[in-house]
Amino acid sequence: MKRYWYTILFIFSLSISAAIPIMPAFIPNALAKAMNQAAGYSLQLGKHITVSLTGSDEHNYIQADGNQMPETTKENTALSVSNEKAPESKEASPAHITNNPQASIPNSTVSGEMPESSNGARDTSDYSIAIIPDFTDVLFIGDSRTVGLSEYGDLRNAEVFANSGMSVFNLFDAKVRGKDGSKKSLEQVLAQKQFHTIYLMLGINELGYGSHQTVVQYQSVVDAIKLRQPDAAIVLEANLHVTQEKSAQSPIYNNENIDFLNNEIKKIAENNACYYIDVNEIFDDETGSLNASYSTDGSHILGKYYSVWVEWLRGM
């Protein structure tokens, strides 16, 4: 009897040994499914930390709060932690850009573009400038022509930062007496409040400099203003022509050079989501020069015509 008992135990042992390698095949389906799905789960460990299970158990590492442990030599990693937040999608819709045709400047050349999109494309649609009739929260920056607008054109509530010798080269060094009677730098004026619209007209006093130098400096001025007034609509104004006689007398202060600079200013406007307007269309004669009947010195319009200029700006 003992011989049969040992024989039975021996056979049973052999059966158990043979069954061990194939036991996973007999694991219940639900348990096997749970084990297989573990590799695809992500566990939220905190507000910005996610752990992904990849199914590999070799050379595990954790990267959190910007610190990374030594990297694995394997392509598959058991634990990877990300603290990155998904970027938010925002549409560019500046309040000062409107498609309302009633807000556009009549009979003027207006150019305005939205900033470039993420793929580098630019919306080339034309937008009109939202005009404020009494120029509240509007700033005018410029030289003697802007001084003329202020003195003879009734800019009402506008702030004016201008003098006869103003240029892009001395703009941020100059101090101008404001409406309150105190002298302020442009830095101070731009810091005092958020403007709705900023008009910039400079360039005549720069004609004696190299054109490339002037354009580069003009761009830096636009950059500085945009940095300090990110929500303002910036309007770059073409420089006023001189009369035909005045233009013929100078190799520097002539309409050819003025047109070249105005064209460069227009490019700056188009490349920086600014507006460009050209007042010459209401003061030029048939030759494309300042009408001599509007001026006594060949460079500036008569005082009575500044009100025409302001009405053109106001769009009334």
Lowest average pLDDT, out of 56-65, 112-121, 151-160, 245-254, goes to 56-65
Q: What is the pLDDT of residues 209-250, one digit of tens each?
A: 999 999 999 999 999 999 999 999 999 999 999 999 999 999
Which residues, including other chains, have CB under 8 Å from residue 68's CB and lie 6 or more apart?
Answer: 61
Q: Structure pTM?
A: 0.62
User: Which domains does the chain show, CATH number per domain?
Assistant: 28-82 (no CATH), 97-314 (3.40.50.1110)
Among residues 232, 170, 241, 171, which one has the least CA distance to residue 204? 241
The answer to whether residue 274 scores a pLDDT higher than 80 is: yes
Tokens 């900033």 label which residue? 115
The answer to whether residue 257 scores a pLDDT higher than 90 is: yes
Helix axis angle for 211-228 and 255-271, nearest 10°, is 40
For residue 4, what pLDDT band results from cuts at 50, 70 and 90? Answer: low
The answer to whether residue 109 scores a pLDDT higher than 90 is: no
Kindly list the distances between the CA atom of residue 23 and the CA atoms of 18, 32, 35, 57, in Å, as whole numbers in the listed order: 10, 12, 15, 22
Tokens 């207006």 label which residue? 110
What dihedral angle (degrees, nearest 10) is formed by the CA atoms of 175, 258, 149, 233?
Answer: -80
The residue-averaged pLDDT of 42-59 equals: 32
The residue-averaged pLDDT of 124-144 equals: 81
Cβ–Cβ contacts within 10 Å for residue 40, how many?
10
For strands 50-53 and 42-44, give the pairing: antiparallel
Give the model's pLDDT for residue 234.
97
Q: What is the pLDDT of residues 154-190, one digit of tens each?
A: 999 999 999 999 999 999 999 999 988 999 999 999 9
Give the model's pLDDT for residue 179.
86
Distance (Å, whole) CA 111 – CA 102: 16
For residue 270, what pLDDT band results from cuts at 50, 70 and 90? Answer: very high
Give the model's pLDDT for residue 90.
30
Kindly list the distances between the CA atom of residue 306 and the CA atoms of 65, 94, 131, 282, in Å, as whole numbers in the listed order: 62, 30, 18, 11
Q: What is the mean pLDDT of the chain?
A: 72
Lowest average pLDDT, out of 5-9, 100-104, 235-239, goes to 100-104
